Amino acid sequence: MNRRHLTFECAGETLLGTIDEAPGTTGLLIVTGGNEIRAGAHRAMAMLAARLASAGTPVFRYDRRGVGDSSGSNRTFANASEDLLAAAATFRAVAPQVSRLIGFGNCDAATSLAWWGNEAGCNSVVLANPWVVESAANLPPPAAIKAHYLAQLQSPAAWKRIATRGLSPAKLLRGLKRIAAREEATDLTSRTLEAIARWGDRATVILARGDGTAIAYADAARRAGIFPRTITIDTGSHSFARPGDAVALERAIRSVLSAP
């Protein structure tokens, strides 16, 4: 395995990328979410790339404009189409044997791939915890709040606390219904779900079972009647950082890489 760092241009700025070289004809393009650098949280993406490359899959990661080692202003995921297209073109240039390109991203990076992955030449996409709901005041999405309290209400200890504190179960349930009623589709929700639907069987969604972003996506997709191939990992970690998560995430990605 050989790891190389390289630069490439995007809209007049210089972006930094890393390729883990391998002879395989199926390549993985990793798009990072939020303001995360290309190594990923806890270096998870760097380690994933090394493992996949050692098994024959070339992997390319990059920092978009204004993030990590790349120049320019951070224009957020919603304005990162040029970065994605430039990265995909660079990957193909430095790994010309790649004839099948798979895109992988977590959170808003998954949303970016759903929107522009086809334009970037991705044959398939792996979308982890797609970002579909903007939360207010740094609170979890309404669906995540509702799921948390409904889970709590299944515990006898929770009902004991309600009785001890003089809380009204009826009022609590009415409050949960009001939370559910506020879950209206936004432009972000509609655009992302419609984009995922257009991928058809070329999209695989990976969800962290206890993660608020994943819960919000699952609820929105259910409401919209959109059910792509979905793999659920039993973790509450948004970045798949708990023991066993990395193995489960890699297994899910490999299932797409090895598909015909």
The full set of domain ranges for the chain reads 2-133+185-257, 142-181
pLDDT at 224 over 90: yes
Name residue 8's amino acid. F
pLDDT at 183 over 80: no
233: number of Cβ within 10 Å: 23
The CATH code for residues 2-133+185-257 is 3.40.50.1820
Angle at 40 between CA 62 and CA 186, to 5 degrees: 85
pLDDT at 211 over 90: yes
Segment (H or E) for 75: none
Please tell me the total number of residues recorded for the chain in this structure: 260
SS3 state of residue 243: coil
- pLDDT for 59: 98
Name residue 51's amino acid. R
Q: pLDDT digits over 240-257, tens only?
A: 999 999 999 999 999 999
- pLDDT for 234: 97
- Please give the structure tokens belonging to residue 84: 């994605």
What percent of the chain lies above the pLDDT cut of 70?
80
Beta strands in the chain (DSSP E): 2-10, 13-21, 26-31, 59-62, 100-106, 124-128, 203-208, 229-233
SS3 state of residue 229: strand
- pLDDT for 137: 47
* Average pLDDT over every residue of 189-200: 97
Query: Which of 95, 104, 94, 106 is CA-nearest to residue 124?
Result: 104
Decide: 233 and 207 in contact? Cβ < 8 Å.
Answer: yes
SS3 state of residue 244: coil
What percent of the chain lies above the pLDDT cut of 90?
77
Rounded Cα distance between 120 and 103, Å, is: 9
Q: pLDDT digits over 88-145, tens only?
A: 999 999 999 999 999 999 999 999 999 999 999 999 999 999 999 876 545 555 655 5
* Average pLDDT over every residue of 185-202: 93
- The model carries a pTM of 0.83
Decide: 260 and 250 in contact? Cβ < 8 Å.
Answer: no
237-241 own/partner pairs: CB under 8 Å, 24+ apart: 237/208, 237/211, 238/106, 238/107, 238/129, 238/208, 238/211, 238/212, 238/213, 238/214, 239/40, 239/41, 239/42, 239/44, 239/106, 240/44, 240/106, 240/128, 240/208, 241/41, 241/42, 241/44
